[in-house]
Amino acid sequence: MADDRNATDIGDRRELFVDRLLLDRLDGVELRLHLPTPREVVMGCDAAWEGSGCGYETVFRDGPIIRMYYIAADLTNADGTKMDSRPIFACYAESRDGVRWVKPDLGLFEYGGSKHNNIVWSGPSLDNFTPMKDPNPDCRPGEQYKAAAYGPGGLWAYKSADGLHWSPLADKPVITKGAFDTQNNAFWDPLRHHYWCYIRGFHNGIRDIRVATSADFHNDRTSKRYRHQE
């Protein structure tokens, strides 16, 4: 930037140029959001336990592996008249190049009398399951991977040492105010030194987006609401 007094110090962080905040001037160029280009299908969701509705994909790089978590459910019953009542599962796939994906046979949860599947979690009222790898330098042993997922009474926090074997962090939900009917994203903020979680709710009949923070991923410290009408 031309004037260091007005520069925003971002250290060694990567930042997207989504606005003029980090730009002093534009000479002969413009900010333009390009449309994605459709490519080939890299993974099909055709296993019996994946049902007719897979979604809420969470993808992140973990060393040499790219991990993917997604929800597997049936959208309707056989004749398409109502939502099916079969359990909802969280499934797992991995890749080394983002193109060729493998669904490992994990042997953790039973479906149709067999544990030969890639299911990593299933619980009462499960609606979404959004994991992350925790970069917090003070992360507790055995909690290197964390997840937020809807369950009875609100949003539950989960932990894992390897990203495959999961268990609840507490015996009750960590956030209770909200609808949580979306992909609830939680992450560690290295600048503010606490966790953020973006959730969805309702306010006077209007859909809103909320954010909650926590110092330890266990306890909700603050909660704010940002209105977003749909």
Do 202 and 113 lie in one domain? The reply is no
pLDDT at 223 over 60: no
Q: Which residues, at least 6 apart from 191, have a Cβ–Cβ distance to it below 8 Å? A: none
195 neighbors 189 (Cβ within 8 angstroms): yes
SS3 4: helix
Residue 192 falls inside a structural domain: yes
- Could you report how far apart the first and last alpha carbons of the chain are, in Å? 38
Backbone angles phi, psi at 76, to 5 degrees: -140, 170
Amino acid at 50: E
Do 110 and 134 lie in one domain? The reply is no
Q: Report pLDDT digits (tens) over 119-167.
A: 999 988 898 999 999 999 999 999 999 999 999 999 999 999 999 999 9
Residue 26 falls inside a structural domain: no
Boundary-marking domain end, from 122, 139, 154:
122
Do 67 and 159 lie in one domain? The reply is no
Give the residue among 172, 78, 166, 76 at the shortest CA–CA distance from 129: 166
Do 149 and 213 lie in one domain? The reply is yes
pLDDT at 180 over 60: yes
Residue 187 falls inside a structural domain: yes
Do 93 and 109 lie in one domain? The reply is yes
Do 219 and 144 lie in one domain? The reply is yes
Do 115 and 132 lie in one domain? The reply is no
Do 132 and 230 lie in one domain? The reply is yes
Boundary-marking domain end, from 64, 95, 122:
122
Residue 19 falls inside a structural domain: no
DSSP letter string over 101-127? EE------S-BTTB--S-EEEE-TT--
Counted domains in the chain: 2
Block residue for tokens 């060729």: 100
Give the residue among 113, 140, 222, 128 at the shortest CA–CA distance from 180: 128
Boundary-marking domain end, from 122, 137, 167:
122
Do 153 and 207 lie in one domain? The reply is yes
Do 109 and 134 lie in one domain? The reply is no
Residue 108 falls inside a structural domain: yes
Residue 78 falls inside a structural domain: yes
How far is residue 160 from each of residues 37, 59, 102, 198, 217, measured CA to CA in Å? 35, 16, 20, 21, 13
Residue 4 falls inside a structural domain: no
Confidence class for position 12, pLDDT limits 50, 70, 90 = confident
221 neighbors 214 (Cβ within 8 angstroms): yes
Rounded to whole angstroms, the Cα distance separating 168 from 158 reads: 4
Do 71 and 57 lie in one domain? The reply is yes
Q: Which domain holds residue 114?
A: 43-122
Residue 37 falls inside a structural domain: no
pTM, 2 dp: 0.85
Would you tell me how many other CB atoms lie within 10 Å of the CB of residue 62?
13
How large a percentage of the chain has pLDDT more than 90?
60
Average per-residue pLDDT in the chain?
88
* Six-digit token string for 69: 């978590």
Name the residue with higher pLDDT: 229 or 60: 60
Do 230 and 165 lie in one domain? The reply is yes
